[in-house]
Structure 1
């Protein structure tokens, strides 16, 4: 990866630049996001395309804020949260523990589904466990540079397979462009909010600052290149999500075909693709499905492990550059083990209702938590010349309100 410095010392992007944004794109586009978009396309055609664009813009604001905090202050997002009071730890610690346990199982199951469909010699849980162990080994022994290159390869596979599948459906361009005009069809309000809020990841948004540090982008000199990197991440994310919306609109909406919720919805789409476009088209899409699931798995195994390691580092009063909290450090590896092996029980036996309830309650608050804390952090004196402008504050307030509403909606569904 190449960068150049101008006369003032600011690092400028070159055409060869690939940064942590490729990791954000690989991690943030999960199978569940694609299914939500697929269902929206199957119900409303292209009418909610504008919500996908809105969702990408919202995530650009959030991730840029997390990255700007890291570069401007030289500290991590968790250091910032800790300055806001002990309440941040009271929320974050149970969340990252419960989230990791449940997500580990979901990620392994998600990778197992397409592998079982491609190679039915092994059942889905076994393929999932193999994927989890493979991902753990990659991020356990591999350096950040290796991890980033693997993510780039997976994004390439996703692009060829998912976007290729959308192209063969021959999108209706006039309707596609009409979908950029904000409208809310009857019964589509919840889908609008889900699309706008669900595009591009949750906890991994906060991991962006850690990937910047692992990359070596750790000072304000990298501010411009970080912003371009972050924007490109969500351009890539938007392309994948729009491709899925196209498939929902062209393949499912026209025929009024319903798909399952969760990762199995992509298997349903695979079956429809095989019926309409043949065996090869369905298998190519399954490969893309696997790349989507596997890239999210290794992204979380690396990024959220760095977040957990930073929490332990601070709790033990170690310096911000402690090797224990970096890629390959002992705190980092401890969370990889937590993500990989205890969740295998859930992969094999299913997830108990009480655990799903805890996961839902804690997860519903993370995006409002991130938005609200960034408002305080990015307006603090520690930011110096990089403090928020008024328009950034307006954007973060809107983001916080939107995600608070979505979180409240999730809790309402969980308890009814």
Structure 2
């Protein structure tokens, strides 16, 4: 049976590179790291992160909202506003009942959790904000976007750890091909660089400990990598059927050609050493897109800069794609934004397709010699891209792969 092409018509983001997706694109194309010492983590074993620069978020989402929203929701609203405008849509005129919202988020209101717990501990119960629950629950990222845009279709938050943003795109794809929606606001958001969260990831052995060189700490696929760098970000993609977009005079930025997910069922935090679950997702995503492995000429890797994770992914990519497509990881420049990462990297992959450019993997002169990969390093590479795979993997054994093509 034929099914409609799903178009990406709008992109929005706020990242450690600054406000707007163009700022992130510029940063990754220059291969410039954003990691730096974080005053909020002073005194901890890991005292650096990739933070969003000070910006006037309130000017976009409304200053009266700021006090009642955790930062992860603020970021999501900011990115959604940019994406809707980029798609040339007007929420005042669309049929809100046919607009869905699906957002990926791994941690929810981590900042609120920690701040309000300290209040309870130090000042007593009456000091705790009556807005505590709506500030911290992860679903409020989708709920507040729906409220802001008048989107009355399905509204969901996907929580698949570091694959959450990609899971959101996969769900949105299903809603559109299944005719549940005409437009979906899809993406991911996270602001989890708090003392407790950073300490937790450090105790799990996941973070780089290069406090003497924060900028050089995130080193995907490098032989001397030692863990990822926490980051905050939000990225939103507007998805709709390509025929609908063209009917209103908008040319798709790219097509979301296929998606798939799988589970390792192996370990709570470690990836399967042979990457069997990741390979299952890649094979299924290609089948969903009706492509062969050889059709893929670029891979935006999950590649967080961990020893086990990068090794498993590198081995799967080399097995799946022996023709050696170009490979990059945006996390060298932007860090690992957890639940936002999959959406952010998909958005940057759209720009790679549009701009015929593959950004370099920051901080990497060459991949580890045991990896048979064509990792782009040092400078951006001009390349015409017809089809790209964007990989996302998460604690719990979640694997999500999306296939993007030229529109």
Asked if TM exceeds 0.5, the reply is no
Higher helix share: 1
Higher strand share: 2
